[in-house]
């Protein structure tokens, strides 16, 4: 296990050119957004894998939309936390996130790749057109003006992440001198496989044990809101 100070010392020894920040649900936990697989779970007795699928939506679009509307309300009322705010100070960093909550952009991060889409974008199931809808829908499931059902514009289990998104992310991670892996259990594929393309220094920040503990160079077992601000300070000093 690495302390925050040891991670900072390692960063100070780097010929630091590029930084990539890779995040999962844990980076939003301190904003009050439940993670997928922690004890508090996400919703009632359902697992994300049961609801975030095309089959669940085909079977019961109203139930799936009830879940998403519950999350959309939670996220609308949430604020970026100290980790999001610190990451946003890395103006040139690429943020690759599995999260669909949009909190990195709300904190001010300008280069964000959302591997799994965005909970405030919807897609017409007939026309395939997408639009941003931040407010609560008057009725569920919502429909397009053409009459067809709208679905969340997110990648469900069993659906592909667009190849261009994967390729762009691999390209960036292969070239980065520092990769921060923050708040992910490393369970979801192919997102979790991206971390293994890093040839630079990889630092995981997660209070709990994950498979990345054996693949990242350093592991800081702290919450993101505690560890990320001082780590970002060190990165900014090194980039000067």
Which is closer to ligand BV8, CB of 15 or CB of 39?
39
Q: Interface with ligand BV8 includes 224 (CB under 6 A)?
A: yes
69 is a site residue for ligand BV8 (CB under 6 A):
no
Residue partners of 202: CB distance under 8 A and separation at least 6:
178, 179, 181, 195, 212, 215, 216, 217, 218
Q: Which is nearer to ligand BV8, 169 or 185 (CB)?
A: 185
Residue 206's closest CA among 192, 189, 186, 191? 186
Residue 51 buriedness (CB in 10 A; 0-12 / 13-18 / 19+): buried
Measured from the CB atom, the residue of 128 and 189 that comes closer to ligand BV8 is 189
Q: Specify the stretch interacting with ligand BV8 by CB under 6 A; choose among 12-20, 93-101, 140-148, 213-221.
A: 93-101
Residues 6+ away with beta carbon under 8 Å from 122:
130, 131, 132, 133, 142, 150, 151, 152, 153
Using the contact rule CB under 6 A, the part of the chain among 54-62, 135-143, 169-177, 207-215 near ligand BV8 is 207-215
Q: Is residue 118 involved in binding ligand BV8 (CB under 6 A)?
A: no
Question: Would you call 196 a catalytic residue per the annotation?
Answer: no
Residues 6+ apart with CB under 8 A from 162: none
The β-bridge relationship of strands 117-124 and 150-154 is: antiparallel
Q: Is residue 29 close enough to count as binding ligand BV8 by CB under 6 A? A: yes
* Angle at 165 (CA atoms; ends 94, 130), nearest 5 degrees: 105
| Residue number with CB closer to ligand BV8 (104 or 116) | 116
Asked if residue 55 binds ligand BV8 (CB under 6 A), the reply is: no
Q: Is 176 in the site for ligand BV8 (CB under 6 A)?
A: no
- Which positions touch ligand BV8 (CB under 6 A)? 24-26, 29-30, 35-38, 48-49, 52, 98-100, 116, 154-160, 183-185, 187-190, 205-208, 210, 223-224
């Amino acid at each position: 296990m690495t302390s925050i100070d040891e991670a900072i010392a390692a960063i100070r020894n780097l010929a630091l050119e590029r930084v990539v920040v890779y995040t999962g649900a844990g980076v939003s936990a301190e904003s009050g957004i439940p993670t997928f697989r922690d004890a508090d779970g996400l919703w009632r007795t359902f697992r994300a894998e049961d609801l975030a699928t095309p089959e669940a939506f085909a079977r019961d679009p109203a139930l799936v939309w009830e879940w998403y509307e519950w999350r959309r309300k939670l996220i609308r009322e949430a604020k970026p936390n100290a980790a999001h705010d610190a990451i946003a100070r890395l103006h040139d960093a690429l943020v690759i996130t599995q999260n669909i909550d949009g909190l990195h952009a709300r904190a001010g991060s300008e280069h964000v790749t959302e591997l799994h889409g965005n909970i405030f974008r919807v897609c017409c199931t007939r026309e395939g057109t997408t639009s941003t809808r931040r407010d609560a829908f008057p009725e569920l499931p919502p429909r397009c003006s053409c009459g067809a059902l709208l679905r969340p514009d997110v990648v469900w289990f069993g659906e592909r992440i667009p190849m261009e998104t994967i390729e762009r992310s691999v390209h960036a991670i292969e070239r980065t001198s520092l990769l921060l892996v923050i708040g992910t259990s490393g369970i979801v594929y192919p997102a979790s496989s991206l971390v293994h393309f890093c040839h630079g220094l990889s630092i995981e920040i997660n209070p709990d044990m994950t498979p990345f503990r054996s693949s990242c160079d350093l592991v800081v077992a702290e919450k993101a809101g505690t560890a990320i601000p001082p780590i970002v300070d060190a990165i900014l000093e090194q980039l000067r």
